[in-house]
Structures are given as structure tokens and as C-alpha cells.
Amino acid sequence: MCIQLVVLSARRGNQSDLISVWVKDSDADAAAARARAVIAEQGYEVQSLEAVTPTTADDYFRRCPSLEAFEKAQREGIAWRLPE
């Protein structure tokens, strides 16, 4: 099973953001659907799917929030980074 990095354009209130979601699923369509659902649960209106890309730990060059989200998705099946 691989990790898919799903990037969504989403809106909450007057603010639109790109949101990254890491999903443990080898099927890109299933990963995108799961990402959309979890971001909607966080109160965002998903506007569009920007990208779905398989990713590995080697894609991250140093310790960073994205690598931490990747590792959480490996353990728990899904992780996301919301705008700050």
C-alpha cells in the first residue's frame, strides 16, 4: 500500500487555500475521495482536486511538517495539513 499526496483547493468562509492530504491507498481515485471527505468534515468546501501523486519518504529532504504528515498517514491511514 502506498501513500498518495492529494492536493485540494478548498474554501472556508471567505478564504480559499490549497490543502495537502496524505492518504494510505494505492488507488488514486479512492485516495482523492477519502481526502475530500475528511477535509469537508473539517468545515471546508472542497472546490477542486489539484493533484494526486504517489509519494515516499525519500521525497522529503529533511524533517518537516510534510514528512511528519507522511509518517502519520503511514501509521493511521490519513493525515492532513490545514492552513495556519
Q: Provide the pLDDT for residue 83.
A: 73
Residue 48 and residue 62: Cα distance in Å, rounded? 29
pLDDT tens readout for residues 25-81: 999 999 999 999 999 999 999 999 999 999 999 998 888 899 999 999 999 999 999
Stretch (H or E) spanning 72: helix 65-76
CA–CA distance, 3 with 16 (Å, rounded to integer): 25
pLDDT of residue 72: 96
Here the CATH number for the domain that contains residue 7 is 3.10.510
Task: Write down the pLDDT at residue 1.
Answer: 72
Give the residue numbers spanning the domain of 73. 3-81
| Tally of domains within the chain | 1
